[in-house]
Amino acid sequence: MTRKLLTGNSAAAWGARLAGVDYIPAFPITPQTEIIEDLAGWIDRGEMDARMVTLESEHSMITAAGSAASSGVRAFTATSSQGLLYGMEMVYTVAGWRTPFVMVNVSRGLASPITLESDHNDIMAARDSGFLQIHCATCQEIADAILIAYRLAEHPDVRMPAIVNLDGFYLSFTREPVDLAKTSEASAFVGEYDPENLQFKGNSPLSQAMAVLGGGPYSYFRYEAHLAVQKALSVYDEIIDEFEDRFGRRYDMIDSYQMEDAEYVIVMLGSFSTKARDAVDSLRAAGWKAGLLRPRLFRPFPRQQIRQLLLGRRAVAVIDQNISMGMGGVLHSEFATALYGANDAPLLASYIGGLGGRDISQQEFFAIADELRQADERGEAPSPRLLYTEHELTEMRKLQAIAQAEHAEINQN
Amino acid sequence: MFRIRFHGRGGQGMKTASRILGTAFFNAGYEVQDAPRYGAERRGAPIFAYVRADRETINERGIIDRPDLVCVADDTLVGMPAAGVVQGMDAHTVLLINSHETAETWQKRLNTEARILILTATEDVEDRAELPYIGSRCAAAAAALTNVIERETLVAALTEELGHLPADIIAQNREIALRVFDEMAQHAGLVAPGSMPSANDYDSPDWIEMPFENAAISNLAIHAGATSVMVRTGLWRTMRPVINYPKCSGCAWICSTYCPDGAINVRADGFPEIDYDHCKGCLVCVAQCPPHAIESIAEHVAREQEAEASA
């Protein structure tokens, strides 16, 4: 293995290369484009044996990826934010085709207002589609997760497409040391793609996932897809055991840190969780029994594992880097569902933070721990909170003052 | 952990500086994280890049808010709030500025506790986005100031990161970088790793409860094109187009139409006039003007001339 500095985007491109992908339908979008650029460069120089086709939209790109997987080749693609949304009709459709391929999503906040920086509302929009979801926190995880995702997606008991998610800027443009597997070792792990009865050929057209009327057949197909996604939980455990044997790195479906005796727990997805890891260290140094829990696997949702890890703790803060308008943090809702009804469930607090790439400071993690302790003393969870400071609101007021002055001027003219 | 920020303009090689330093740290046995941060991806616009290096795995992410070293390639950025050069500096920070002016002048001007060093500005260039070798010079200075990177390690990192360039360019960069490395050796170790904030003693984050505000206030009611007037994008300019009116034939529709920013207005007398508050200095007008009546001069030269004229 060679350890080298790679951006998250380069790590994603390497993941696809090491997985031996055959076909890459592509469409550019910031902050994902470097993935496609890296792959295009390798193909152009003859360093990678694959075919890349640039499509006119993400809608066609995802259609092409699903169609290619239906014809028995290993397909890879990547998108972000508005691009994922533009292709959303096909995200749901190709999942219904039960075609296994891997799509990388580089998380970026959604319009409006428009931004380039990271948050998770884009990937949450694909939550109910049938795509498996693996969320990464480091550049190393990105390269490895793509290999794991192909194994999981192509497993005959699962056979669903998968998204590997990484955060824009914080991972996409950030170089970190990455151990790259040797091509032969990666190939031996990922293996050949066996499409079984997926045998779509241009010269012998077949229908796949055609119209069904009356709810009976429709319900059957939809629920079978749900069961297949759930089946991915046990399959995942087998795959990561083998991954660890071969490469020495372990990727439990839930990354738990300092959880043995933790009383106060922070729950997060994605790369911001490594900041929480530092905060847990600092809190431990100050005498707190703090811990961190980060789901890698978000679909399927590891409900039982979460219950095992969290029942009996004092209080849990779920920090969502997304917001469901009129409800709140999506991850918080899912954790509440997972813990509902247990006598020894911890208090569950909801924080929204990191929207549009907004940073989360160490001081904020410490203050969250403090709020958890106070909640525990009161025996009642605190109200949901947006991580937002007085200073940020003051800066916002300045922008609003300019906008109002402009508005007044326009109305006068 | 070492926390180092590089500030410059698009085109000056700040991303390259961060990668050279990052690779040098990595080859010296450090865990490394390096990244550029840009908003408008445009030549001449302010950008910064940063490097973290530690003996342990790095969990910290995002913009460095308490830098040990801030390197500034372009001293016109120091006074620009949007560039964020002085953000988070304190007595622990070393500020290294590529400038013709002295450390004392900057110390007085900024009234900062940070320790200031000058990277003596080399030959003048027309276009600031093309300051020669500045990325390599900044990386070399930073490497020397940390005192944990050997000369050979710097050279290897520089060669690796500039490997796509012709051999003579790499050789020039290497020579200039080593000169800076040796000049800065007298300050070796001035930049020291900073600490982590403590959970025992920290400033409260000063959270507020987000107030409800009705749509007349909280929606994006900015529909008019005039909203960008307040943003003085002319500050991005490194080269200034100047109309030579005696040569101008008054076909003002050409330059004013080609201007991608609508920054050339037509006066009542039919001649064009450049709005320097918003002209970004792309010089499309210079290329399009049929009688070649628009010239370009370096922005800093233009400002010096203006200052002399008004004195």
- A197-254 confidence digits (pLDDT tens): 888 888 887 777 678 889 999 999 999 999 999 999 999 999 999 999 999 999 999 9
CB-CB neighbours of B307 under 10 Å:
9
The token pair that represents A389 in the structure block: 């400071």
Domain boundaries of chain A, sorted by first residue = 2-247, 254-391
CB-CB neighbours of B44 under 10 Å:
23
Q: How big is chain A, counted in residues? A: 413
CB-CB neighbours of A209 under 10 Å:
15
Domain boundaries of chain B, sorted by first residue = 2-187, 233-310
User: Looking at CA atoms only, how far is residue A303 from chain B in angstroms?
Assistant: 27
Residue of A nearest to B50 (CA): A174
Residue to test with chain A: of B59, B212, B223, most A Cβ within 10 A: B59
> Mean pLDDT, to the nearest integer, of A334-339?
98
> Mean pLDDT, to the nearest integer, of B172-183?
94
The token pair that represents A240 in the structure block: 């990561």
- Asked if A407 lies within 8 A of B221 by C-beta distance, the reply is yes
Distance (Å) of CA A83 to CA A9, A79, B86, B292: 16, 6, 36, 44
Nearest to A176 among B33, B200, B229 (CB): B33
| The pLDDT of residue B202 is above 70 | yes
Residue to test with chain A: of B207, B217, B218, most A Cβ within 10 A: B207
- Asked if A174 lies within 8 A of B196 by C-beta distance, the reply is no
Nearest to B61 among A274, A279, A389 (CB): A274
The token pair that represents B250 in the structure block: 């008054």
DSSP E strand stretches across chain B: 2-9, 31-37, 46-54, 69-72, 94-99, 115-120, 239-243, 264-266, 272-274, 294-298
**Do residues B83 and B7 touch, judged by C-beta distance below 8 A?**
yes
Pairing label, strands B294-298, B239-243: antiparallel
Nearest to A174 among B31, B35, B204 (CB): B35
- Asked if B32 has any chain A CB less than 8 Å from its own CB, the reply is yes
Predicted confidence (pLDDT) per residue in A103-124, tens digit: 999 999 999 989 999 999 999 9
**Class of the domain covering B2-187:** alpha beta
Nearest to A282 among B32, B196, B227 (CB): B196
Chain A environment of B32 (Cβ under 8 Å): 5, 175-177
Chain A environment of B26 (Cβ under 8 Å): 5, 177
Predicted confidence (pLDDT) per residue in A119-165, tens digit: 999 999 999 999 999 999 999 999 999 999 999 999 999 999 999 99
Computed over every residue of chain B, the mean pLDDT equals 91
**Do residues A320 and A329 touch, judged by C-beta distance below 8 A?**
yes
Q: A299 has which bridge partners?
A: A133
Residue to test with chain B: of A166, A350, A406, A407, most B Cβ within 10 A: A406
User: Looking at CA atoms only, how far is residue B229 from chain A in angstroms?
Assistant: 9
Predicted confidence (pLDDT) per residue in B250-263, tens digit: 998 999 999 998 99
Task: Measure the CA–CA gap between A348 and A333, rounded to whole angstroms.
Answer: 10
Residue to test with chain A: of B1, B56, B61, B63, most A Cβ within 10 A: B61
Query: Binning pLDDT at 50, 70 and 90, where does residue A297 land?
Result: very high
CB-CB neighbours of A6 under 10 Å:
22
> Mean pLDDT, to the nearest integer, of A184-191?
98
- pTM, entire model: 0.89
Predicted confidence (pLDDT) per residue in A31-67, tens digit: 999 999 999 999 999 999 999 999 999 999 999 999 9
* Chain A / chain B CB contacts < 8 angstroms: 116
| The pLDDT of residue B40 is above 70 | no
Task: Measure the CA–CA gap between B50 and B47, rounded to whole angstroms.
Answer: 10
Domain A254-391 has CATH 3.40.50.10070: no
Query: Binning pLDDT at 50, 70 and 90, where does residue B127 land?
Result: low
Query: What stretch of H or E contains A338?
Result: helix A330-339
Nearest to B59 among A5, A274, A402 (CB): A274
| The pLDDT of residue B287 is above 60 | yes
User: Looking at CA atoms only, how far is residue A409 from chain B in angstroms?
Assistant: 9
DSSP letter (8 states) at residue B62? S
Cα of first residue to Cα of last residue in chain B, in angstroms, is: 48
> Mean pLDDT, to the nearest integer, of B257-286?
94
The token pair that represents B260 in the structure block: 């991608």
- Asked if A363 lies within 8 A of B196 by C-beta distance, the reply is no
Domain at B233-310: CATH code: 3.30.70.20
CB-CB neighbours of B183 under 10 Å:
15
Predicted confidence (pLDDT) per residue in B51-72, tens digit: 999 999 999 999 899 999 999 9
Residues 157-186 of B with CB under 8 A from A: none
One-letter identity of residue B52: R
Domain at A2-247: CATH code: 3.40.50.970
What pLDDT does residue B126 have? 55
Query: Binning pLDDT at 50, 70 and 90, where does residue A259 land?
Result: very high
- Asked if A369 lies within 8 A of B199 by C-beta distance, the reply is yes
> Mean pLDDT, to the nearest integer, of B126-141?
79
- Asked if B230 has any chain A CB less than 8 Å from its own CB, the reply is yes
- Asked if B35 has any chain A CB less than 8 Å from its own CB, the reply is yes
Q: In chain A, pLDDT over 90 holds for what percent of residues? A: 90
Query: Binning pLDDT at 50, 70 and 90, where does residue A412 land?
Result: confident
- Asked if B26 has any chain A CB less than 8 Å from its own CB, the reply is yes
What pLDDT does residue B122 have? 66
What pLDDT does residue A283 have? 98
Query: Binning pLDDT at 50, 70 and 90, where does residue A87 land?
Result: very high
Nearest to B198 among A169, A275, A286 (CB): A286
**For chain B, how big is the Rg over CA atoms in Å?**
23
| The pLDDT of residue B237 is above 70 | yes
What pLDDT does residue A276 have? 98
| The pLDDT of residue B30 is above 80 | yes
Query: Binning pLDDT at 50, 70 and 90, where does residue A25 land?
Result: very high
User: Who contacts B210 (Cβ-Cβ below 8 Å, separation ≥6)?
Assistant: A386, A388, A393
What pLDDT does residue A279 have? 98
Query: Binning pLDDT at 50, 70 and 90, where does residue A2 land?
Result: confident
Query: Binning pLDDT at 50, 70 and 90, where does residue B310 land?
Result: confident
What pLDDT does residue B12 have? 87
Query: What stretch of H or E contains B43?
Result: none
User: Looking at CA atoms only, how far is residue A38 from chain B in angstroms?
Assistant: 15
**Do residues B156 and B27 touch, judged by C-beta distance below 8 A?**
yes
User: Looking at CA atoms only, how far is residue B19 from chain A in angstroms?
Assistant: 9
